[in-house]
Structure 1
Amino acid sequence: MGDLILSFPLVLWLERTYPGHPIWVVAEEKFFRPLMNVSPRVYYFPWEGVNALLQNRYELIINLSIRNEAAKLAGELDAEAKLGPVVLENGATHIFGNWQLYRASVVENNRHNLFHWADLNALDCIPLGSIAQTTWPQPRTLHKDSNRIGLFLGASEEAKRPSVKFWADLCAELLKRGLRPVLFGGPMEQGMGQEVAGLFKGPVLDMCGKLNLAELIAVGQSLQLFITPDTGPMHLAAWSGMKVLNLSMGNVNPWETGPYQSDHYVLRSTMSCALGCWSCRRDKLYCHSPFTPSRIAVAAKRIIVEDRAGLSKMNMPGLRMALSSRNDDGLYFLDQKSGSRSQAVDSLGRFWQQFFGALFGLWDMEQAASVWMELAGQNPLLAHKMEAHLPRLGKEFSRGLARSKTLDDSFWNSCPLILRQFTGFIHLFLQNNDYNRHSWIQVLSYYEQLAALISQS
């Protein structure tokens, strides 16, 4: 459901870019049917009805799914242009579009990725100017006398959601501050809601399993704040105007899947392993520990009274508080408001964002050069490490061109972590083009542009 909601901005931009053209969306019926009242104007098709699509020719096919059947369908449909994974006539899968390929390359390799999924959905087919000019409604602010706080208990994986005890203790902390907690969840969270209410033993309204999505949206308009892990209802809340406090814990990256509209709050662990985490390999979820109910309740109170100065002064060791916004280029941005900064990680993320944006024509290389010089000045050892490894890459790519060789499966992640945003994309780019001569020439061009930037320091 969350992925479907994150495609809504793309649909709105497609309406403006291709006026008068109908937009047909293939999706799981259990996800799209409850969202139809809040969805942009499209024609939804369940998977059971996709054969009807084969009778038409399309101007553009965009496959945002990782499912093989979606790539197969994209290959079978007749269209002037296609983006995303497509099964070709020879049975091979090819990813069309630089940004769709980039997104595929950050799977298990997103430590320094700062592009949001909703932006990546669109960048191959929507001008950056259209994205930058889009203004989204501000989250709804209710009268200060309203004191109801929504708590969405569930998430797709245990690592992404707080425990029953956390939610029960948070109810108590909110109540101490004059706020009334309301529990939300789907049918799967019904038992969890009962456990939280039973452990809390205080006044709490348990709505878990009692509302459909349309009713959740309606009830949500009476909430001052919606506190939620990274889950589909979080995106629905932000889309429908609720003010969100996202507890971004576990194997999620808020830069990619945080609330997309502006002025929503995101709390994230500062642990280094929390960056680019796909599945926890430690003996317990240490990134959950800094999320204490008292901290969350204090933050919630300050968000409600719009005390941003107070929020920025909050001492929350182990956590960062950020506000969703837009950067100077009009793309999604998390504006840090409190917590310690990891200067090197932040600078590398900005550098790779600027580099790939220039590589794919969003802007020129001057911005990437400026960020690199700043990074090299602040972290000379890191800059030296990256520069020292570049000649090895150059030799590898030159041999590849001369011998039309393939790369070992371990190539991209055998490189230093600071370079994997680049090597991960390069490795997938070559595979996607069957290591043909033209792809090796293109890779050398990408490498030369990177080397020219880094050699400046």
Structure 2
Amino acid sequence: MKPILVLQRRRMGDLILSFPLFLWLRRTFPDNPIQVAAEEHFFQPLMSLSPQVGYVPWSEAGTLLQQDYRLVLNLSAGGQAEELAGRARAEEKLGPILLNGARRVLGRWQLYRQSLIQNNRYNRFHWADLNALDLVPLAELRGTAFAEPRRLPTGEVRVGLFLGASEPSKRPGAAFWAELARALLDRGLRPALLGGPAERGLGAEVKWIAAAPLLDLCGKLDLKELAAAGQTFQLLVTPDTGPMHLAAWTGLRVLNLSMGNVNPWETGPYQPGHLVLRPTASCALGCWSCTRGDTRCRGAFSARRTASLVQSMLTGPDERLERLTPPGLALSRTDRDASGLYRLARLDRRAPGAHRLLSRFWQAYHGHRFGLWDEARPRAAWVELAAAQPRLAEAFRSRLPGLGRGLRLGLSRGALDDAFWTGAPLMLRPLTGFLLPLLQNSDFSSPAWAESLEWLEALLAATR
């Protein structure tokens, strides 16, 4: 049978978040071998932990053009991957491709993912789920059970502190890590500093500030060794980074300090049973890039309170952690909803505010439009929003005629520009930000205009 080709050239964390997809593809297409083109320095140390697929080094990706495929799925960004996806011979293609010199995004869920660039404030679909939804039935996701993180016997308790992230704004500074390490030592726990070669200097700085006998393993373990060492830890405290996903995949429980321009609904620990601590400041509720310049969301994290949270995670049920959540932060547990999709279950009793209610509605609306469920779900989400936030509901509906006028104006001109979504109110951008690439993807064809009006009509129906 013709193989399936997945192009995944992004970071190590993105490759690990593709592991569930590889499992689902094997079940959905049992007779089709799966090939994955990725950077060798990412996949080589992960091969023993990966689902069984055939890896091809990206440096040899050109050889992939010599065979025919059942499917090519491009999960990478950039011209080289898009050109390769466009040139490959396949019965079906998904993701961004270069076709006859023009960029196209094939697959509605892949197009939705593209629409999240600079526009993910209300997104509630996880990257691992988005990888699969164009291909894998929702029932397959719902029927997949991931094991809860392991609980090691009590005794000598070792807590890993992974110091680094892809950007400094996405991780705590050295002073925070040093204070957290000292606080854990004061509680009888044994912290270990973890990181890759890039964190050697940070690890040395943390150890110097802490002035304590800390085990510093920064730059001393490769990914395979890091996964093995993680089997001896009770917990990993980490920002949103590739080793966080490695820990979650291998069963090491994670406390994710979600800070900077990350959205844990998209890239939080995917398996159930992990905890995510994130700021509640408005600017931190799903940001693609920091517009404040000072990444003030990092200031909400307290090392001493985090240490108390760690100790309680190791000794009792999650439900009693609510009172330990520092002010300005929210604590959530990773889980699955009734449909089988990723969700973050808040561990506090605060009534959902405008952001949470709008996010639920937009998830329900897009899921309905893409065929995951019927119209009852977005309608129920809207009823909940309107009951709790009547002024917000009124403001939302009052802006829909303006959206219709914008579409009619664009139709008369034959095109829309970025002002269609950047000029829309934030609450409507999940739709305007999708309709613009939908129209661009079809060169503003008549069927695309008709479909855009259908999206607006469905929104009007859901919010009656």
TM-score between both structures, scaled by the size of structure 1: 0.97
Residue in structure 2 matched with residue 451 of structure 1 by the alignment: 460
Q: Which residue of 2 aligns with 1:405?
A: 414
Query: How far is 1:249 from its partner?
Result: 0.4
- What per-residue deviation string (whole Å, max 9, x for no partner) do you get for residues 287-308 of structure 1? 1112111111011011111332
Superimposed CA distance per residue, residues 113-156 of structure 1 (whole angstroms, 9 cap, x where no aligned partner):
00000000000000000001100011111012131000000001
Counterparts of 1:246-395 in structure 2, within 5 Å, are 246-338=256-348, 343-395=353-405
- Gaps of at least 5 residues in structure 2 are 1-11
Verify: 1:20 aligned to 2:36, yes or no: no
Separation in 2 of the partners of 1:29 and 1:296?
A: 36
Counterpart position of 1:107: 117
Of the three residues 203, 207, 230, the one matched with 1:193 is 203
- Match in the other structure for 1:137: 147
In 1, the alpha carbon distance for the partners of 2:390 and 2:302 equals: 36
User: What corresponds to 2:240 in structure 1?
Assistant: 230
Query: Could you tell me which of 446, 449, 458 is aligned with 1:437?
Result: 446
Q: Distance in 2 between matches of 1:54 and 1:279?
A: 36
Amino acid across the alignment from 2:223: L
Mapping 1:39-58, distance limit 5 Å: 39-58=50-69
5 Å matches for 1:206-245? Answer: 206-245=216-255
Question: d(CA) in 1 for partners of 2:294 and 2:35?
Answer: 44
In structure 1, give the amino acid aligned to 2:22: V
* Structure-2 change in CA distance of 1:199 and 1:339 (3 Å): farther
Residue 340 of structure 1: how far off its partner (Å): 5.1
Distance, in Å, in 1 between the alignment partners of 2:352 and 2:80 is 41
Q: 2:376 corresponds to which letter in structure 1?
A: E
2:104 paired with 1:94: yes
**2:77 maps to which residue?**
66
Partner Cα distance (2:221, 2:149) in 1? 22
Between the aligned partners of 1:189 and 1:231, the Cα distance in structure 2 is 13
CA–CA distance in structure 1, aligned partners of residues 73 and 138 of structure 2 = 17
Q: Matched residues in 2 for 1:365 and 1:231: separation?
A: 36
Q: Tell me the amino acid that sits aligned with residue 202 of structure 2.
A: M
Work out whether 1:203 is the aligned partner of 2:213. yes
The answer to whether the 8 A contact 1:317-1:339 is kept is no
Equivalent position amino acid for 1:317 in 2:
P
Return 5+ residue gaps in structure 1 as ranges. Answer: none
- Over the residues paired in the alignment, what is the CA RMSD in angstroms? 1.2
Q: Verify: 1:125 aligned to 2:135, yes or no.
A: yes
Q: 3-state DSSP class of the match of 1:338? A: coil
Measure how far apart 1:201 and its partner are. Answer: 1.3
Q: Distance in 1 between matches of 2:204 and 2:312?
A: 28
Identity in percent: 51
Question: Which residue matches 1:6?
Answer: 17
Q: Which residue of 2 aligns with 1:77?
A: 88
Report deviation, 1:286.
1.4
Report SS of the residue matched to 2:237: strand
Q: Which amino acid aligns with 2:21?
A: L
Whether the aligned pair in 1 keeps the contact of 2:118 and 2:289 (CA below 8 Å) is no
8 A contact 1:318–1:339 mirrored in 2: no
Deviation at 1:278, TM superposition (A): 2.4
Tell me, in whole angstroms, the C-alpha distance in 2 between the residues paired with 1:315 and 1:40.
Answer: 36
Which AA in structure 2 matches 1:241?
G
- TM-score scaled by length of structure 2: 0.96
Q: Give the letter for the 2:44 counterpart.
A: R
Greater than 4 Å deviation, 4+ residue runs:
339-342
Report deviation, 1:170.
0.3
The residue type paired with residue 344 of structure 1 is A
Any conservation in 1 of the 2:276–2:332 contact (CA below 8 Å)? yes
Does the aligned pair in 1 maintain the 2:120–2:288 contact within 8 Å? no
What is residue 421 of structure 1 aligned with on the other side? Answer: 430
